[in-house]
Structure 1
Amino acid sequence: MDNKINLRDKSKYMIFTSTLIKWVFWGSIVGVAVGSTSALLLNANDFLTDTRNENNFLLFLLPLGGILIGYIYRYHGANSRRGNDLILEYIHNGNEEVPLRMGPIVYVSTFITHLLGGSTGREGAAIQMGTSIAQGVNRLFKVDKLDRKILIMCGISGGFGSAFGTPITGTIFGMEVIALGKMKYESLVPCFVSSFVGHFVAKSWGVEHSHHIIKIIPDINTMTIIKIILVSIIFSFVSVLYSQLRHGVKNFSEKYLKNLMIRGMIGGIIIILLTYLVGSREYLGRGLPMIDKAFDGQVPPLAFLIKIVFTAITMGMGFRGGEVIPLFFVGATLGNTLSNIVNLPTSFLAAIGLIAVFCGASNVPIACFVFSIELFEGKGIIFFFISCIVSYLFSGHHGIYASQKIYEPKSRLLNLIPGEIITAVEGNKKNTKT
């Protein structure tokens, strides 16, 4: 009897050990590949941004770039045109696999967008390349169906962690972004390995991430906490405004501009007109200089609103890149605007806004809280925690990831059915109104 028990124990240990080795091995492969491609993405985007700034005429080629991106996705993209939504749907249902071509195509399209002035970021491209690489590992090693989904989540973590230089956040983001109200802990090891390996590989390629500095942290008292709660509610509403406008532009263009090339061309023309309407090129591309200014108190009061419009049109009309950095722009500049109104330090409220708007739009409060710790070296940790909670709750069931599943509603007061995705919830609301 004792021998049988010992054999069972040994068998369990062997399974545990072999599984752990498997996940570390596969996560490392994904991390190395994703870290290298993220380094290429970051360095190329910096070069393309400098090139655009030195050659103002490139903006006038944006409609042509829209046509080219539309052509690529129409004739060569297949279902990869659905981007992050396809990735989430595959993890939920396992129906349509992530195509290997998704990564290279989104990189080319992102480079075109950045070079010619589309208002976009980088994490979307990094995540899609990461999952494309993870899918390659799935096929190469003939990974079973259940583990394939976990490896795709590992690609998300590697992409995010290496793109922003925040490996702990990358680990959690890949597990949390899939569904509201549920953390996919079964993917912890591969997500951890992929994110950390990807981060250090990107650094070994010479990537340097700029982190903003909070100059003054206010004292913790009742009045300051009340102010943080109130401004976090505002940040959450602004995140909803962006999400709704971005999805609205996308739905409108899909309905009335079915040809992807015409859609991209018109989107490019609108961005050119908006640029000359506002009289500034600071809302093109990632807008990193404006984020820097927001921490020093030198931005126009409506900068956040202008960036929302630029990014919603860029992403909704078919250009590629990411939405996290534009959300940073929106949050930091809005925090800058509110700082004088609520009498809080500018750099501090810019940082709170940066995190809170991203949290409300992405529905990943734990990842966002950890992100604030990595990004701002643990300063103001209590305020960031409060802000993430408030923004997450008050943003409701909206977000930039339309296929994010609501595993558990944020509140029973909302009377939502568990298991729906954000798009379905929005559709049900419209049907109820009509």
Structure 2
Amino acid sequence: MRAFFTRSFVTPARIRFVLALLAMALAVGTACAGFLWSLDAVTRLRFAAPWLLYGLPLCGLAVAWLYRRFGSRAEGGNNLILDEIHEPGGGVPLAMAPLVLIGTVATHLFGGSAGREGTAVQLGGSLAHGLVDRLGLTGKARRLLLMGGVAAGFGAVFGTPLAGAVFAIEVLALGGLDLAALVPCLVAALVGDFGCRLWGAHHTLYPHISLPQTDPAGFAALLAKAALLGLASGVVARLFAEANHGVADLYKRFVANPLARPVIGGVLVIALTFAFGTQDYLGLGVLSAHPGAPTLPGFFVAGPDRWSWLIKLVFTVATLSAGFKGGEVTPLFFIGAGLGSALSLVLGLPVPLAAAVGMVALFGAAANTPVACAVMGLELFGIDAAPVLIVACVAGYLASGHGGIYLSQRIARPKWPRRSGGASLRAVRHVWL
């Protein structure tokens, strides 16, 4: 038995893989801690110096030049990492890590409306691929280490390691969960989160959400309201994704020089700021320069907010479609929580509950990761709200159709019978369902 165990499970190759996974995840967690600290610092600096917004066009130009000069393949971002996991090709350049870190911090310093998940995932994917090349890993080990990098980055940047592990195995394909990769992804996400917290990094705190006490009929009505909010979240998620991809396509069609696109986008963000008369919709949307400004945490404690979700959507599309760096997730959290707050009166739901449901359902619909987002909801809001979170995430996932923010996702199991599987979202994005 000992000989069988030794030959089958404890081999030099597996020991090397486990050590590489642990080292990579710890490095990703450390990088995410520095990244979170940097975002907080530059956000507060922008609050103290609002005039920095006028440097956004030059910031975009500088970052676009850096990518063009030192790592053009890194422009592929999250989609490049997904493509490499599906079908190994040209690799993930190690330059992606410093480039996306510099680009995202600069975007937030000068007021772009962007997130942080894209940066964390690309940090994880880039560092993991660097180890893959150094160790000469191929086949399954290569794929698992790349997925572990995604899990470590996502889990560390949001402080949700369980969701990070599930996200890494769910984001690759619609309706496909690669359960064989769950253990290494879970280990990577836990170690990445530990590494991030070890450096004292702080994450956004959310309230514990409890469901109203009611009878069975009332509970059924509550689930029905959660489903409606999930459906609305799915429609808005698809709207966001199509607007972001569509405006990016327009830039490519009419602005031949890629260095000019972020300059135009920066000017557009400045114009939107003047049009709405506020800088409240710049940056992450987690902190505010003054009391009463709409923020992601504020949706859980303030009264209903009708239009902040739509304004944030416009600012974020204007930023990301032009090529600024960051990610979509935290703005999607803001949009989802704001949408939940806006619909709380219509649906007769407590504002904190509606904000929590909208936050996870909209992101789950946009990323096509309903299981990961339901798990994230449990990590952030507690297990009491599990029934409504799960129902809303499933409803949002179905309502968003075969579209999403990651065009390199494959369709493993179509959401609707008339759509065939196997294609990427890029190939079917012009069909709503």
Find the aligned partners of 2:277 and 2:298 in 1 and give their Cα distance.
18
2:335 aligned partner: 330
How many angstroms does 1:57 deviate by? 0.7
Pairing partner for 2:357 from 343, 347, 352: 352
1:171 aligned partner: 165
Indicate the SS of the match to 2:126: helix
Q: Deviations over 1:341-392 (max 9, x none)?
A: 1111001100000001001001111111110110112131111111111111
Q: Which deviates the most, 369-378 or 46-55?
A: 369-378
Q: Is the CA contact (8 Å cut-off) linking 1:38 and 1:202 kept in structure 2?
A: yes
Find the aligned partners of 1:248 and 1:356 in 2 and give their Cα distance.
23
How many angstroms does 1:166 deviate by? 0.7
Structure 1 residues 291-302: aligned runs within 5 Å = 291-298=296-303, 300-302=305-307
Q: Is the CA contact (8 Å cut-off) linking 1:35 and 1:197 kept in structure 2?
A: yes
The structure in which a higher percent of residues are helix is 1
Counterparts in 2 of 1:216 and 1:185: CA distance versus 1, 3 Å = closer
2:310 aligned partner: 305
Find the aligned partners of 1:63 and 1:194 in 2 and give their Cα distance.
37
1:241 aligned partner: 239
Normalization by structure 1: what TM-score?
0.93
Q: Does 1:387 align with 2:387?
A: no
Q: Deviations over 1:60-93 (max 9, x none)?
A: 0000001111111222222110101111111111
Q: Does 1:339 align with 2:344?
A: yes
How many angstroms does 1:298 deviate by? 4.2
Counterparts in 2 of 1:82 and 1:258: CA distance versus 1, 3 Å = farther
2:292 aligned partner: none
Find the aligned partners of 1:61 and 1:73 in 2 and give their Cα distance.
19
Find the aligned partners of 1:250 and 1:298 in 2 and give their Cα distance.
35
Pairing partner for 2:326 from 321, 330, 334: 321
Pairing partner for 1:148 from 130, 142, 146: 142
Pairing partner for 1:409 from 404, 414, 424: 414
Q: Does 1:426 align with 2:429?
A: yes
Find the aligned partners of 2:300 and 2:193 in 1 and give their Cα distance.
26
Find the aligned partners of 1:125 and 1:38 in 2 and give their Cα distance.
9
Q: Which deviates the most, 15-24 or 112-121?
A: 15-24
Q: Is the CA contact (8 Å cut-off) linking 1:179 and 1:404 kept in structure 2?
A: yes
Aligned AA (1:350): A
How many angstroms does 1:215 deviate by? 5.5
Find the aligned partners of 1:124 and 1:316 in 2 and give their Cα distance.
14
1:3 aligned partner: none
Q: Is the CA contact (8 Å cut-off) linking 1:214 and 1:348 kept in structure 2?
A: no
Find the aligned partners of 2:192 and 2:209 in 1 and give their Cα distance.
30
**What's the RMSD between the two structures over aligned residues?**
1.7
1:117 aligned partner: 111
Q: Is the CA contact (8 Å cut-off) linking 1:157 and 1:195 kept in structure 2?
A: yes
Q: Deviations over 1:223-261 (max 9, x none)?
A: 212111111111111111101101111111122123222
Aligned AA (2:370): P
Q: Deviations over 1:5-36 (max 9, x none)?
A: x7xx9456523223653443122011111000
Find the aligned partners of 1:396 and 1:63 in 2 and give their Cα distance.
35
2:131 aligned partner: 137
Q: Is the CA contact (8 Å cut-off) linking 2:228 and 2:392 kept in structure 1?
A: no
Q: Which deviates the most, 272-281 or 180-189?
A: 180-189
Find the aligned partners of 1:20 and 1:352 in 2 and give their Cα distance.
41
Q: Is the CA contact (8 Å cut-off) linking 1:27 and 1:154 kept in structure 2?
A: yes
Structure 1 outlier segments of 4+, above 3 Å: 9-13, 19-23
Normalization by structure 2: what TM-score?
0.94
Find the aligned partners of 2:52 and 2:156 in 1 and give their Cα distance.
29
2:51 aligned partner: 57
Find the aligned partners of 1:11 and 1:99 in 2 and give their Cα distance.
40
Unaligned runs of 5+ in 2: 288-294
2:290 aligned partner: none
2:276 aligned partner: 278
**Aligned residues between the structures:** 421
Pairing partner for 1:14 from 7, 11, 14: 7
Unaligned runs of 5+ in 1: 1-5
1:34 aligned partner: 28
Counterparts in 2 of 1:91 and 1:426: CA distance versus 1, 3 Å = same
Q: Deviations over 1:135-191 (max 9, x none)?
A: 111122111233212211110000000000111111111111111121122322321
How many angstroms does 1:218 deviate by? 2.0
2:291 aligned partner: none
Q: Which deviates the most, 203-212 or 46-55?
A: 203-212
Q: Does 1:256 align with 2:254?
A: yes
1:269 aligned partner: 267
Q: Does 1:364 align with 2:369?
A: yes
Q: Which deviates the most, 194-203 or 22-31?
A: 22-31
Identical-pair percentage: 37
Counterparts in 2 of 1:238 and 1:41: CA distance versus 1, 3 Å = same
How many angstroms does 1:217 deviate by? 2.2
Aligned AA (2:227): I
1:66 aligned partner: 60
How many angstroms does 1:299 deviate by? 6.1
Indicate the SS of the match to 1:107: helix
Find the aligned partners of 1:197 and 1:322 in 2 and give their Cα distance.
22
